[in-house]
Structure 1
């Protein structure tokens, strides 16, 4: 126990790195998540297009068509002269202009009876927007409805009534609900971003701890002490794990408290997988710090390794940009990095639609792969430490 406390005091002596890497950078990730949360409250609203209708026919069919076009759009009054039409299109006063020629209704009834083509309409679409094109497609669909109803016979009034009844009929649809509530995108962004502060803070602090312990003078006093090597090693591992747990608890605790409080009740399984993935990556970071410390690097070198490798692993893992945006060669390399597997677990938990054994086990397997990276790195560090001990001895 006294040895463990000594190791923790050495770690706290480098508190400036804890403040910079762990506290400040972690808060940056939370700020990113909060900004996404504030921007995710947008709601869809249908766009009302600006349309103008010039009806030279004034038949029941043309009036029905005019009413249908004006129903869900903003009707712009427009004179029927050529100059007004040209000015409206040139100045983008309307997105869609419909001109119904004289005799159009009668010609459509005749064409439907003779199985001929529908009479043409004069339509103009604004060059600045795609809204007019969508209105034009709806106009053509409604005209085809009039044509189909007219082919059955009856007066223009009957054709309009039949077409409107058919148009207003809706097909019953239902939405398949998700049994699992998705995690907030803000929480996902903060969790992915936290890979960098976790790695940087844990790696640099443990590396500096190992540097202090491996100094020749301190190493000699440790070896000469009555404490067994096993007890010293257990205390060292406990100190490294403790720092990794502190970094994990700080980051994940902030994320849950500020961004995922609702997910505790709604999505506990997914939230647990995210926390497990970050915990595994924290332990990997501790293993990397242990290895770097065994190499006996300087303080500046430890900072360089923590920053460069921290950013590189986060980038390859998908924390900075979606992996689909990366070249195939980099994606292939990413498979051999620990955070790639943690990323797969976090993303899979966020997108999980149904909580079941078949959906959870693959994500737990990804966390396991990430943990294996940490074990392998730790074994390399232990082997290197034994070699250094024999040299110093």
Structure 2
């Protein structure tokens, strides 16, 4: 097993690849899968409360009505009426909405409302962190529009009564009923989402780690020395492939065990047969990047290109496979393209396996079909790699008897 030990040592010499593509990306998949879960919905609708501030330089009945209306939008924050205090509040994001009512606003507002003229403006500042301030400003504009309409319709009515009518109108809300979405993620989906994100981990990690090992072993001087050794070519190839398979299984076992540890409740909620299939599906899928790594090794590409191929393929297949964006919201053209890529069949198999029951033979057959398609992808890429490797052994740079015969001719 000298070749196997040598191959594993080559992988161990580059621990940074395993730490980045194996450990770090797997942990990132844990965080992303956790963030995808929608929070549990409450039984009652609660209006969102916003922190706001008002600087009233008018002190009129209209400005007081504005302040009274804003109390329905959230909690008021006290801010001093000075340029420094206002700038400091904006810079520190003390409140989401800051309103400055200028002097004489109330009188100008009532006069403009009764004469059907444009209403005077107030100075408002939104928070740059969110759109909460814009929402409050839209609600305030609706209140002022109601107050203006009442003032135009009843010009002889006292201002305080007009404000009360506008406040009553602002308190009218539509009935809100929370209906659970049929697409809300369940507890079992948490583990499935994690394994879907690991599609990128498999492609980036396995291609780079296995590919760099094979590139080293396929160097002309190393290959000549190995072919001159007493070990047969069949044993040499078998031990090399065993090392590749072990590296692949390390990535597969790491991701699966990490998911089971980080999502224990989700893992426990998956039926027993589902757990088995959710272990088999990633194992079969990992054979595809293993075949790509074998092809990259036969092509003798450099380290930079190896990293580029692993990352680009991982990103493209993860996106088009529905790992990051649900296939339901993609266009029909993208869905059609996704059917020609292995990522689609991987996510489809996982989504079926997470709910698989012991007597659900139809779903089990569908998963078997997905697994068969992924095996065909792996076999196709592996076949191409064998052809490339065979052609390369006949070159003068490869070494060996086949190359020597070509040179002799």
User: Could you say which TM-score interval applies, normalised by the shorter chain?
Assistant: 0.5 to 0.7
How far has the Cα of 1:240 moved from its partner?
1.0
Distance 2:263 2:285 in 1: 20
Distance 1:95 1:258 in 2: 46
SS at match of 1:291: helix
2:297 pairs with 1:297: no
- Counterpart of 1:45? 43
Distance 2:330 2:167 in 1: 43
Ranges in structure 1 where 5+ consecutive residues have no aligned partner: 50-80, 97-125, 135-181
SS at match of 1:131: coil
Matches within 5 A, 1:105-120: none
Q: Is the 8 A contact 1:184 1:260 kept in 2?
A: no
How far has the Cα of 1:190 moved from its partner?
1.1
SS at match of 1:194: helix
- Counterpart of 1:24? 24
Q: Is the 8 A contact 1:183 1:267 kept in 2?
A: no
- Counterpart of 2:237? 233
Matches within 5 A, 1:207-286: 207-261=211-265, 263-264=267-268, 266-286=270-290
How many equivalent pairs are there? 281
Report Cα offsets for 1:307-340 as digits up to 9, x if no partner.
1111011111111101122222222121111121
Q: Is the 8 A contact 1:198 1:282 kept in 2?
A: yes
Distance 2:358 2:158 in 1: 61
| Alignment CA distance shift 1:389-1:88 (3 Å) | farther
Matches within 5 A, 1:1-393: 1-36=1-36, 40=39, 42-47=40-45, 87=163, 90-91=166-167, 95-96=171-172, 126=173, 130-131=174-175, 184-261=188-265, 263-264=267-268, 266-352=270-356, 355-391=359-395, 392=398, 393=403
Report Cα offsets for 1:122-164 as digits up to 9, x if no partner.
xxxx4xxx328x8xxxxxxxxxxxxxxxxxxxxxxxxxxxxxx
Distance 2:161 2:247 in 1: 74
Q: Is the 8 A contact 1:184 1:259 kept in 2?
A: no
Distance 1:275 1:325 in 2: 28
How far has the Cα of 1:267 moved from its partner?
1.6
Q: Is the 8 A contact 2:291 2:381 kept in 1?
A: yes
Distance 2:385 2:304 in 1: 20
Q: Is the 8 A contact 2:348 2:370 kept in 1?
A: yes
Distance 2:198 2:238 in 1: 28
| Alignment CA distance shift 1:356-1:296 (3 Å) | same
Report Cα offsets for 1:280-311 as digits up to 9, x if no partner.
11111111111111111110000000011110
Report Cα offsets for 1:36-74 as digits up to 9, x if no partner.
45x53x24313489xxxxxxxxxxxxxxxxxxxxxxxxx
Q: Is the 8 A contact 2:188 2:266 kept in 1?
A: no
- Counterpart of 1:168? none
SS at match of 2:43: coil
| Alignment CA distance shift 1:24-1:82 (3 Å) | same
TM-score (norm 2): 0.63
How far has the Cα of 1:268 moved from its partner?
1.7
Ranges in structure 2 where 5+ consecutive residues have no aligned partner: 48-156, 178-185, 404-409
Q: Is the 8 A contact 2:271 2:354 kept in 1?
A: no
Distance 1:306 1:91 in 2: 61
- Counterpart of 1:111? none
Q: Is the 8 A contact 1:32 1:186 kept in 2?
A: no
| Alignment CA distance shift 1:90-1:338 (3 Å) | same
Distance 2:283 2:230 in 1: 35
How far has the Cα of 1:34 moved from its partner?
3.2
